[in-house]
Amino acid sequence: MKEKIVTSGFISVVGRTNAGKSTLLNNLVKSPIALVSKKVNATRKRMDIIIPFENEQYNSQLIFIDTPGLHESKKLLNEYMLQEANKAVGDSDLSVFVAVASTKENEILHYRNFLEQHDKRHIVLLNKIDTLSKQELLECLESYKQYQDQNLGIIPVKAKDIDTYTMHTILSLLVKNLPLHPHFYDNDMISTTIMRDIYKEAIREAVFERFSDEIPYESDVKILKVTEKPRILYIKAQIIVAKDSQKAMIIGRNGETIKSLGSIARKKCEYLAEQKVFLELIVKTIKGWNTNKETLKEIGYDFMD
């Protein structure tokens, strides 16, 4: 039997906010570990997802890095998010650029910006093709044709509901472009992101689901304690908000809102932990938490100075 070629490497997944990057990665790994939301700017910090892959020729390990969507806001937290995304592209062997398939000119601008800013070998995924008619999809593919010499391939996808064939096509294209390198991690691992950070994202996801308007953007979550108790995992987490009025909104009348939020978040944590969870949520106001470097660092956003 012919020996397989072993390649492994890091692949940054980039694209504008709401393009479907986290959805794609959750579906590749078949576990909802990355935060997905209808709202923009959901992912704040990079998270990695490890996928082993074998075909007739290759035996590879792909380490995908989910990144915050590329955007142009000047807020400090958003600056951090942009820094994370750009650093992930710089550190990776390849990129996957996720674009929203569209016939609108402004969508392709995101891709043009990426090409201008990064000199990185990459593939392009045109996502959300379920929202286009056949004719629109053809037009969209046509508009990306002019860039075909600058990437390794352009693949139309439906990240929300990706089929095995498309997944195989994407992974096959990536593994043959990765460096020759033994696997970096044990193939049983699905992420090097620590469980604490995964629970944090699960609770943030619940906040994104439960609240509209400013709360998802004006809040964050800090995990204070994770303790294994007999037959139950105890998680104590703090929801940080910028104003007392937001704290009152999260708690709700007689604590009813936080109770329902806690129940949504607990179920997400239980699914990820594969065991029963007792989740204790507390809310704390820290004025200007998202405009202060020190507080941001304390919550886990390690700025490069």
Ligand X SMILES: Nc1nc2c(ncn2[C@@H]2O[C@H](COP(=O)(O)OP(=O)(O)OP(=O)(O)O)[C@@H](O)[C@H]2O)c(=O)[nH]1
Tell me whether residue 48 is annotated as binding: no
Dihedral sign from CA coordinates of 158, 164, 166, 169: positive
- Least CB distance to ligand X at residue 105 (A): 20
Dihedral sign from CA coordinates of 229, 260, 269, 83: negative
Tell me whether residue 90 is annotated as binding: no
Residues in touch with ligand X (CB under 6 A): 17-23, 36-38, 40-43, 68-69, 127-128, 130-131, 158-160
Tell me whether residue 15 is annotated as binding: yes
- Partner from Mg ion, ligand X, none binding residue 32, C-beta < 5-8 Å depending on class: none
26 or 61: whose CB is closer to ligand X? 26
18 sits near Mg ion (criterion: CB under 5 A):
no
- Least CB distance to Mg ion at residue 66 (A): 6
Tell me whether residue 17 is annotated as binding: yes
13 or 299: whose CB is closer to ligand X? 13
78 sits near Mg ion (criterion: CB under 5 A):
no
8 or 27: whose CB is closer to ligand X? 27
Q: Which residues bind Mg ion (CB under 5 A)?
A: 21-22, 42-43
Annotated binding residues for GTP, as ranges?
15-22, 66-70, 127-130
Annotated binding residues, as ranges?
15-22, 66-70, 127-130
